[in-house]
Amino acid sequence: MKKGVVYLVGAGPGDPGLITVKGLECIRQADAIVYDRLASPELLREARKDAQIIYVGKASSQHAMAQGDINCLLVVLAVQGKTVVRLKGGDPFVFGRGGEEAETLAEAGIPFQVVPGVTSAIAAPAYAGIPVTHRDFTSGLAIFTGHEDPLKDGSAISWEKISTGVGTLVFLMGMENLDAIVERLLTNGRPPETPVALVRWGTLPQQETLVGDLSTIAAKARESGFAAPAVIVVGEVVSLRDRLRWFDNRPLSGKRVLVTRTREQASQLSALLRDHGAEAVECPTIEIQPVEDFSEMDSALSNLAQYDWVIFTSVHGVRSVLARLQDLGRSADALSECRLAAIGPSTARELEGAGLRVAYQPEEYVAEAIVEGLDGVAGKRILLPRADIARESLAIGLREKGAVVDEVDAYRTVSASAEAGPVRQMLATRQIDAVTFTSSSTVRNFVALLEQGTKKEERGTGNEEQGRGDEERGIGNKERGTREKGLRVLDLLKGVKVACIGPVTSRTAHELGLHVDVVAKEYTIPGLVQALEEFYAKERR
Ligand code: SAH
């Protein structure tokens, strides 16, 4: 049997990008992952599909599983020959009880490795614009637990030494004892005007920072209801935040934005939104699936030489055609017999990535512009691989100019309803600031998803019809479009800014009764993000 091993891995403080390369590799390899509440849940998506994922949640007071049981669990899994990852928030050896887990493993003779992580003690201040050391202010840093009541007799912390002996003090798990911590520092000689910052949910989009000094911070925290999880930073370095603030003052900071693309496509938009400060919530409304019947496509692909142009209107179109060619035992090169047009830069990149040359790409990224731009199409044969629910304006426009157009279904878009529940909930509780749409179908499917939820809710639980209802939940069931449901959807979207990638998508949104607040000037993902930024910049002014 394979020999088991345990990796004690630091997941970092929250921003999933702050895990180490080695830590991520461990997650990807693991047979079993044992994780805590504070670890970023996104990281678990990196796990193998068949990995065993065990939650042993650790809120500071209520342990879902006692530490002793966690220690045993690690040993048991390893004895079964598994590669186990013990994923812990921040760094495993900074107040994570990773030391105790390692001791247990050592005693049991289980091989283990430690993969250090980025600790919240340093990262949360950093994301608040506070360097924990700085030549001009302090030559040292000390990290303490604020968990035990500092006013209790026999405190494990030597308050009389640390209060004046160390430049920067960071307390973890200290929010409940903030008053007492402050009092201890003051009575032991730290000046009342010493700056203090509280950083809550550090490195995450919802990060909040409260700044004061030793004489004011406790009252300020009480007034604003500032709660855990937070780090407390005490020392002159806190004053640097005024100049070094960088994370929570970006154009989209504090905004929670819905991304309605497919799971595969969402990442680019989500990453860009996050980079500009927003929290991106992915709500895939559609999934891309192969067509059921390939005969049309196959016959077109076996006669590629007869076409003057192949026009691709989406990345999916490119991928589907390339995948089908591969299934047929042919290479992408087969397409080089024709001239290729791409509707936008992503589609062009997809073709170029397969080693193909794009002969034409319109300046404006809408189908109509292709018709305008491709002059001299009269009498030419054009192949148009598209989604089964594509708009027909391109084909019509080309035919009007005298082209002979073969449209073939290259892929299907089907409704992805899995994530609708949580997103509806967030909308209902007004937690979403904006929703982005990158195509007409994302708008239609999003509205359809919300309507389905409405229907389910109206039906109530335990209703006999509930089971039967599932079949009706495909896209485009016209009967569902009652006025009432439309109103419910609009109600859910009240106050939510609607941002569209271009005029066609925006028109669809209008048609469905949505109020469109933002339309990108450049019809690309970066164009969409920029338009959203400009919108909020204006709103702020
Ligand atoms: N091993 C962890 C700390 C675990 S103790 C680390 O190295 O970061 C849990 C405490 O860490 C919380 O009570 C809080 O004080 C702090 N903490 C963890 N993540 C945090 C975050 N994202 N923002 C602010 N504080 C955080």
Task: Kindly state whether residues 266 and 314 are assigned to the same domain.
Answer: no
What's residue 334's pLDDT?
93
Q: How far is the CA of 229 from the centre of ligand 1 (A)?
A: 6
CA of residue 164 to ligand 1 center, whole Å: 24
Q: Which of 35, 56, 120 to mutate to test the pocket of ligand 1 (most atoms within 8 A of CB)?
A: 120
Spatial strand order of the sheet with 83-88 comes to: 52-55, 32-35, 83-88, 5-10, 112-115
Whether residue 196 is found in the same domain as residue 261: no
Measured from the CA of 204, which atom of ligand 1 is nearest? 22
Please identify, among 72, 96, 118, the residue that sits at the C-terminal boundary of a domain: 118
At 388 the three-state DSSP class reads coil
Query: How many Å apart are CA 522 and CA 274, to the nearest integer?
Result: 20
Among 363, 301, 361, smallest CA distance to 326 is for: 301
Atom of ligand 1 nearest to the CA of 228: 13
State whether the beta carbon of 177 lies less than 6 angstroms from ligand 1. Answer: no
Asked if residue 395 and residue 356 are part of one domain, the reply reads yes
| Residue 469 in domain | no
Write phi, then psi, for 398 (nearest 5 degrees). -65, -40
Ligand 1 atom having least distance to the Cα of 120:
8
CA 247 to CA 275: how far, in whole Å? 10
Does 229 sit in the ligand 1 pocket, CB within 6 Å?
yes
CA dihedral 285, 287, 293, 294 (to 10 degrees): 130
Q: Is the CB of 14 under 6 A from ligand 1?
A: yes
What whole-number distance in Å separates Cα of residue 428 and Cα of residue 412? Answer: 30
275 is catalytic: no
130 and 233 housed in the same domain: yes
Question: How far is Cα 506 from Cα 443, in angstroms, rounded to an integer?
Answer: 9
Tell which one of 18, 38, 67 to mutate to probe ligand 1, the residue whose CB is within 8 A of the most ligand atoms.
38
Q: Report whether residue 172 contacts ligand 1, using a CB cutoff of 6 Å.
A: yes
**Rounded alpha-carbon distances, angstroms, from residue 516 to 285, 286, 319, 346:** 19, 21, 31, 24
How far is residue 49's CA from residue 167's CA, in Å, rounded to a whole number?
Answer: 47
- CA quadruple 181, 185, 188, 192: dihedral sign: negative
Query: What's the CA dihedral at 439, 445, 451, 452 to 10 degrees?
Result: -160
Residue 53 phi, psi (nearest 5):
-115, 115
Cis status of the peptide bond prior to 41, with omega within 30 of 0: no
Domain end among 83, 118, 153: 118
What are the tens digits of pLDDT across the range 47-77? Answer: 998 999 998 875 544 556 888 999 999 999 9
Query: Residue 8: CB within 6 Å of ligand 1?
Result: no
Ligand 1 center to 172 CA (angstroms): 6
Residue 86 belongs to domain with CATH number: 3.40.1010.10
Cα 171 to middle of ligand 1, angstroms: 9
Determine whether the shortest distance from the Cβ of 16 to ligand 1 is under 6 A.
no
Q: Is 38 in the pocket of ligand 1 (CB under 6 A)?
A: yes
Residue-level pLDDT at 346:
84
Helix (H) or strand (E) holding 411: strand 404-415
Question: Residues 422, 279: one domain?
Answer: yes
Q: Compute CA distances 532 → 104, 127, 225, whole Å.
A: 52, 23, 31
Residue 448 lies in a domain: yes
Residue 107 corresponds to which tokens in the numbers above? 């005693």
Residue nearest atom 6 in ligand 1 by C-alpha distance: 90
Three-class SS state of 147: coil
Let me know if residue 466 belongs to a domain. Answer: no
158 and 236 within one domain: yes
d(C-alpha 131, C-alpha 133), whole Å: 5
| Residues 32 and 91 placed together within one structural domain of the fold | yes
Same domain, residue pair 24 and 81: yes
Same domain, 374 and 440: no
Give residue 468's Cα distance to chain centre: 33
User: Which CATH number characterizes residue 375's domain?
Assistant: 3.40.50.10090
Q: What is the largest CA-CA distance in the chain?
A: 93
Q: For residue 53, give its domain range.
A: 5-118
The pair phi, psi for residue 352, each rounded to 5°, is -65, -35
Total domain count for the chain? Answer: 4
- 48 is a domain residue: yes
CA R_g for the chain: 28
291, part of any domain: no
- Decide if 106 is inside a domain: yes
Please identify, by atom number, the ligand 1 atom nearest to the C-alpha of residue 207.
23
Cα→Cα distances 169→81, 88, 196, 500, Å: 43, 23, 9, 47
The pLDDT of residue 62: 56
Residues 198 and 266 in one domain: no
Residue 363: CB atoms within 10 Å: 7
Is there an atom of ligand 1 within 6 Å of 448 CB? no
Domain-located, residue 290: no
Which residues of the chain have a pLDDT value below 50?
60-61, 456-481
- CA gap 300, 296 in Å, rounded: 6
**With helix as H, strand as E and coil as C, how does 451-477 read?**
HHHHHHHHHCCCCCHHHHHHHHHCCCC
In angstroms, what is the span from residue 121 Cα to ligand 1's centroid? 7
12 alpha carbon – ligand 1 mean position (Å):
9
Cα(232)–Cα(211) distance, rounded to whole angstroms? 10
Residue 251 counted as domain residue: no
Cβ of residue 87 lying under 6 Å from some atom of ligand 1:
no
Q: What is the pLDDT of residue 57?
A: 76
Question: Which atom of ligand 1 lies at the shortest distance from residue 60's CA?
Answer: 13
Respond yes or no: is residue 36 known to be catalytic.
yes
**Spatial distance between the Cα atoms of 251 and 149, rounded to a whole number of angstroms:** 40
Same domain, 406 and 433: no
Residue 165: give its domain's CATH number: 3.30.950.10
89 CB under 6 A from ligand 1?
Answer: yes
Strand order in the sheet with 339-342: 286-290, 404-415, 381-387, 309-312, 339-342
Report CA(460)–ligand 1 centroid distance (Å). Answer: 41
Catalytic position from the list 36, 91, 248, 433 = 36
Distances (CA, A) of 103 to 8, 23, 93, 94, 161: 12, 20, 12, 15, 30
Give the full edge-to-edge strand order of the sheet including 256-259.
279-282, 256-259, 434-437, 497-500, 518-519
Say whether both 159 and 132 belong to one domain.
yes
